[in-house]
Each structure stands twice: as C-alpha cells, then as structure tokens.
Amino acid sequence: MRILIDADGCPEVDIATRIAREHQLECLLLCDTSHVFEKAGAQTLTFSKGADSVDFALVNLLRPGDLVITQDYGLAAMCLARKARVLHQDGMEYTADNIDALLLARHTAKKICNSGGRLKGYAKRTHAQDEAFESALQQLLEEAERDNQ
C-alpha cells in the first residue's frame, strides 16, 4: 500500500506524511506548479497547471489497494473505481455506499451557484477535524496491516 495525497488543497499533509513514515509506507504528494511541497519521507510529484491535471495523474499512478487522501468527490469516485481506498481530509472514508450521494450534493451545489445562488463557505478548520483525520488514517492503516498478515 502506498499513500497518494492530492496535496493542492489538503490541510493534512503534515499529519499524513508523519503517519506514512511511522508505518514505513511510500508517500506521494501530487500538486501543480503553483504549490511547493517538501516533506521528509514523501516524494513530491509536480504537474502543470490545468483543469484536473493533478487528478488524472494521480488516477494513472494508482494501484489497487493504494490509499488516496483528497477532498475532491470526483477524484474520489475515480479512485474507488480503480480499487483504491479513499479518505477525506476530515476522516470520512469514501465508499461505494456514500460516493453517489456526495456527487449528487456537489452537482446540486454547482447548479445553485451557476444560477446565481449563494452557498455558505467552509468554516475554519478545527483541531477536532485534525484529530478525526488522524484517528481515521491510523485506523485504516492498522486495518490494512491486519488484512495483509
């Protein structure tokens, strides 16, 4: 198992790379040229700016059983189709059971915005969200280790 992080919009890069080192897992940070990441124990892959260029590169690098960290529902759906495990930055695991509802909510929100409506923005990230992410990531990796024994 490798950990691939959609690093452009991920506030959890430090936590994820630390946990990857603790579990001795390969960790790849994927970002575009407008972001610079250098984290101990992780390899940074930089791609040109462009609509979804990082997303498509990530999907092309995936192997079944890899773990992806992203907040992008569309990317999560593509990763699930490639047999990866996918974790949101708030600790929610994307699954076949929840991805359709998440994509529908995203589509509905986009329709509202495109028609001139306004949606409430994201709240400031909390320490509780960081803890939920860390706990979920640790639990997922421990589960994967048990399954591989």
Report all structural domains of the chain as residue ranges with CATH numbers, in order of start: 2-147 (3.40.50)
Select the more confidently predicted residue: 20 or 9. Answer: 20
- Please report, in angstroms and rounded to a whole number, the separation of the first and last CA atoms in the chain: 13
**C-alpha span between 81 and 94 (Å, rounded):** 11
Buried residues in 9-38 as b, exposed as e (16+ CB within 10 A): ebebbebbbbbbeebebebbbbbeeebebe
pLDDT digits (tens, 9 = 90+) for 60-88: 999 999 999 998 889 999 999 999 999 99
**C-alpha span between 50 and 39 (Å, rounded):** 24
pTM, whole model, 2 decimals? 0.85
**C-alpha span between 92 and 114 (Å, rounded):** 28
- Residue ranges with strand state E in 7-107: 26-32, 43-47, 67-69, 85-87, 93-94
pLDDT digits (tens, 9 = 90+) for 126-135: 899 999 999 9
pLDDT for 8 beyond 70: yes
Which two structure tokens, joined as six digits, stand for 57? 């590169």
pLDDT digits (tens, 9 = 90+) for 25-66: 999 999 988 877 888 889 999 998 877 889 999 999 999 999
**C-alpha span between 72 and 106 (Å, rounded):** 10
pLDDT of residue 121: 66
| Mean pLDDT value of segment 102-121 | 74
